[in-house]
Each structure stands twice: as C-alpha cells, then as structure tokens.
Amino acid sequence: MDGFGPLGFTPDSLAQESLRLQAKLRAGLDTLHQVHEIEYGATAREEVWRDGKVVLYRFRGDRAPTARVPLLIVYALVNRPYMVDLQDDKSIVRGLLERGEDVYVLDWGYPDRSDRYLELEDYIQRYIGGAMDHLRGEYRMDGVNVLGICQGGAFSLCFTALNPHKVRNLITMVTPVDFHTSDNMLGNWTRGLDVDLFVDTLGNVPADVMNWCYLTLKPWRLFVQKYVGMVDVLDDPKALEDFLRMEKWIFDSPDQAGEAFRQFVKQFYQGNGFLKGGIEIGGRTVDLRNIDVPILNIYAEQDHLVPPASSKALAGLTGSDDYSELSFRGGHIGIYVSSRAQREVPQAIHDWLGQRAR
C-alpha cells in the first residue's frame, strides 16, 4: 500500500499512534489517583449458616422475594463466587432478585493446611448437604432449587444423584459433564497428570499453580491482548475500575484442598466418571439416572474452559423426563458479566423456574 507494506503503516500514522499512546499513559497517571480500593459485590447479604470456613449467605434485594422456593447457587472451588454479583451492572444475582427469586450462595472460603484431607464427600454431602438441610428446615419443604456453576454444577449433579428428594429443580451452568471431548484442552492436559505425585508433594494445590494453568489455555488473549487493550481505558476511571475489579477476581483464587483435588481429577478429568461410571462419594456410587427432577442445562457457545459439547453431554444421562438446554452466545466469563448475560440469563432462569413452580 503506497510502498509502506501490507498493513499500510506510514511514518505519519506511526507518529500519531505514538502521540496517542503517550497521551493515554499520561492520563492514566491521573486516572489511577481517582480509583479507590476496588470493592466487589452489588448486593447486601447476610450469613445464615456456617460450617467451619464454609458460609451460606442470603442476598437481600430492594424488595421481598415472591418466589416460594429458594434458589441455592453452588459455585466452583477454584475461584470466588462473587463473580455472580460482581458489581451493580454485572450481577446475575441482582437480576434474579429483581425478578422475585430468593437467592442464596455457598461460599467455600479459603482452605488452609488444616483442610488438606477434606474429600469430595465433605464438599458435596457435608457442605452442600448441610446448606440444603438448613434451607429445607427454614422453608419447611422437602427440596429447594439449585443453580450449580462450572465445577459447582458437577458437584450439584452428584448431590442430586445421591439425594434426589432434596432438590426440586436443578440448573447447571457451564458445567463439565464429558471431560474427554476433543476440544477440551484442560481435560487433555489433566489426563496425563500424575495427580498422586502432585498432591503428595504439594499437599494443598497452590492457587498460583491453578491460575497459571487457566491463563495458559489462552496465552495471547490473557497474557498480552487484554493488557494492551487496557491502555485504551486508562483515561476512563469507570472502565479502569471495572478492569481492575475483574483482575482482582481472577487472581483472588483459593488454594485447593489436596485430597478433594486428587479425587476430582482422578474420577472426573481422568476417569470421565459421568459417562463411564466410577464416581464414588463417601463410598456411594453416583448414578445420574437417579436424577428425576427437572433440569435446565445452560452452556456458553464460545466457552474455552467447558466446551459446549462437554456440557451438552448431560442430555440423556439422567432419569429426568423434563430436560432443557439453553445456549448462550458468549464465553465462560461473559455468561456472568456481559450486558447480554444481564438481559438474558436471569430472565431465562426465572421463566424456567416459574413454569415449574408448584
């Protein structure tokens, strides 16, 4: 192009871009002074039950809930659950509350060395089970609604299979079911892991190790591109605060209790137990055919952590005659925080639950 290569760079355009970048960086120094301590959470909440480090919170909206059955959110262990209530304009929880749902979330806390020998039975039967029993007692009902997200969805499937009478409706969101799909990069990596040596050496699995694995799934996007893109918002305090809040969530990761990690990798990632069998929780076999409650399975079409095929494998594995799927046009994180998610996801969940209210 006019002798300046296929990209069309000219000395003048490069000079203008350099000046623009310098202006952005100068503005960024002023902007950073305007950004205060980054907080998260858009919604008031109160502790209603606790077992050690694990806490059940009830969210309080601007008006009383109209839903008769509470909704328990079960998140993954590897990140903090405030992603579902990140900020005012990025909160699946707020959207659910505005539609009348009665929303709770289970917060796993931060495991330390005293939690080294916690097993999957502790997380699924003791913690999820304890929270469920608390809600069942408070509301005087046999079963409550569950929204399991990512690994929390896998836990919720196990809990429902072992305790089908305690769950009224089950929603799984970006939940891995088939861990051996060809496009599941994390699953392919994990299958070759000597998890016994790994856990026996480290004890609890450090959060930094887990974060490194997730970031290297998309190294260009997560190590380079997003920080280059940050330059464009250096002169916008609100946008920069949003960026830093997301960064805080990404790196605010708990360590993983060693034994539970060992069991999850062996039975789910390596054994692909939902499809092939072999998942045992506290000596009891998990059989998805025991699940006969209504299921809504939500997956993200551009999910690089839990590919759609991994989630959609749930169809036909359970004993439910009321199974629905919902595809979301976005990625693993976008399903919580994008503007489209705020419009679509809470409404879809509310409508689906409303059709099954009884």
Beta-carbon-side half-sphere exposure of residue 164 (alpha carbons within 13 Å) = 14
Active site members: 150
- Integer Cα distance of 335 and 90 in angstroms: 10
256 DSSP assignment: B
How many other β-carbons are positioned within 10 Å of the β-carbon of residue 33? 9
Q: At what angle do helices 237-251 and 11-34 cross, to 10 degrees?
A: 80
Quote the distance between the C-alpha of residue 255 and its chain's center.
16
- Integer Cα distance of 156 and 171 in angstroms: 9
Structure token pair of residue 318: 């359970």
Helices of type H across the chain: 11-34, 92-98, 120-121, 129-139, 151-162, 185-191, 195-202, 207-215, 219, 226-230, 237-251, 258-264, 273-276, 308-312, 334-337, 339-355
Residues in CB range of 193: below 8 A, 6 or more apart: 265, 270
Which is nearest to 151 in space by CA: 32, 292, 261, 9?
261
* Per-residue CA distances from 5 to 9, 11, 13 (Å): 7, 12, 13
Concatenating the DSSP letter of every residue in 281-335 gives ETTEE--GGG--S-EEEEEETT-SSS-HHHHHTTTTTSS-S-EEEEEESS-TTHH
- Integer Cα distance of 320 and 314 in angstroms: 11
